[in-house]
Amino acid sequence: MASGTTATARAAQGAAAELGAAFEAAVAADERIEPRDWMPDAYRAGLVRQIAQHAHSEIIGMQPEANWIARAPSLRRKAILMAKVQDEAGHGLYLYGAAETLGTSRAELLDKLHEGRQKYSSIFNYPTLTWADVGAIGWLVDGAAITNQVPLCRCSYGPYARAMVRICKEESFHQRQGYELLLALSRGTEAQHAMAQDAVDRWWWPSLMMFGPPDAESPHSAQSMAWKIKRHSNDELRQRFVDICVPQAEALGLTLPDPDLRWNEQRGHYDHGAIDWAEFHEVLKGNGPCNEQRLAQRRQAHEEGAWVREAAAAYAAKQQRAAHREEREALAS
């Protein structure tokens, strides 16, 4: 009996080692890991954490801009902004869907968000004070999101990578609408130009913080890179973003609020000033200007949507009953 148990345990160990090796080989060969494939628990948990945080950011990110829908200066601007905010809801859906393939329900993730047990991007805890903020968010925040997310289209987990392909296409529309909006303001009256500059002054530094802490202080980075969930380090992506933005700011006729920003011939990149990481950590801890308001509004929206979820569940159950009845009738005939 004892030797039988040992043999079974040894066989199970052997099978687990084989699965682990197959997973590592697939990652090394740049193949996609799919929902039914075996994966290490930490890979699954890390992906759920990252995808959830991403999904939460998409839906919380609807709030600062939705704040301006009713006050958009023209019908054209209103239609564009509404389309953009709806896109963000869609991004949330794709991502919650991707997390579901890992065995985590949307309801569970939303509960964690509402209870403050999961995070969303700290950028959305800043207020949108003027219409120009809609432009600055599109240009800088969506721009930073694209820089972060384009490499995720090649992420090792199939459903996440595929969701990112569509999201990135839409994000690039968002970035362009923001740029175009800022350009119109920058070339407008003196007051409009000043409004655009003020928005860029307020959003620039928080946008740089979107790439996360410096590599040395980023707790999940190394493992994420080894598993090819992440393809580039935080600092690398931040540098890429700065290099893209400097000439765009010049074309906009706006300045970036960093006296230390200059081209470094040797590195072939722009150097930038020090980021205020104390501010980043404060916002992350819940002490940003809008943390409480964002979560309260999210919880309220969730409560007010209860009847929609109930109706959808009742409808799905009804459809399922009808399908079963048809099946039974087909079998009986």
Residues near Fe ion, by CB under 5 A: 58, 88, 91, 142, 171, 174
CA 253/CA 196 separation, integer angstroms: 10
Min. distance of Cβ 23 from Fe ion in angstroms? 30
Min. distance of Cβ 85 from Fe ion in angstroms? 9
The residues near 303 (Cβ < 8 Å, ≥ 6 apart) are none
143 Rama class: left (phi>0) / alpha (psi -120 to 50) / beta: alpha
The nearer residue to Fe ion, 43 or 92, going by C-beta atoms, is: 92
The nearer residue to Fe ion, 23 or 63, going by C-beta atoms, is: 63
The H-assigned helical ranges of 101-123 are: 106-114
The nearer residue to Fe ion, 58 or 133, going by C-beta atoms, is: 58
Q: How far is CA 307 from the centre of its chain?
A: 27
Min. distance of Cβ 189 from Fe ion in angstroms? 28
The nearer residue to Fe ion, 91 or 238, going by C-beta atoms, is: 91
The nearer residue to Fe ion, 26 or 62, going by C-beta atoms, is: 62
State whether residue 65 is helix, strand or coil: helix
Angstrom distances, CA of residue 12 to CA of 5, 21, 40, 41: 10, 14, 15, 17
The nearer residue to Fe ion, 53 or 192, going by C-beta atoms, is: 53
Q: Partners of 262 in the beta sheet?
A: 271
Q: Partners of 270 in the beta sheet?
A: 263
The nearer residue to Fe ion, 168 or 200, going by C-beta atoms, is: 168
The nearer residue to Fe ion, 46 or 178, going by C-beta atoms, is: 178
Min. distance of Cβ 92 from Fe ion in angstroms? 8
Min. distance of Cβ 88 from Fe ion in angstroms? 5
With beta carbons less than 8 A apart as the criterion, state whether 155 and 229 touch.
Answer: yes
Residue 59 tokens, joined: 């839906």
Beta strand spans in the chain (E): 262-264, 269-271
Buried b (16+ CB within 10 A) or exposed e, 68-81: beeebeeeebeebb
Concatenate the DSSP letters of all residues of 293-311 into one string: HHHHHHHHHHHHTHHHHHH
Min. distance of Cβ 145 from Fe ion in angstroms? 6
Residue 24 tokens, joined: 């590592």
Min. distance of Cβ 173 from Fe ion in angstroms? 8
Min. distance of Cβ 289 from Fe ion in angstroms? 21
With beta carbons less than 8 A apart as the criterion, state whether 104 and 56 touch.
Answer: no
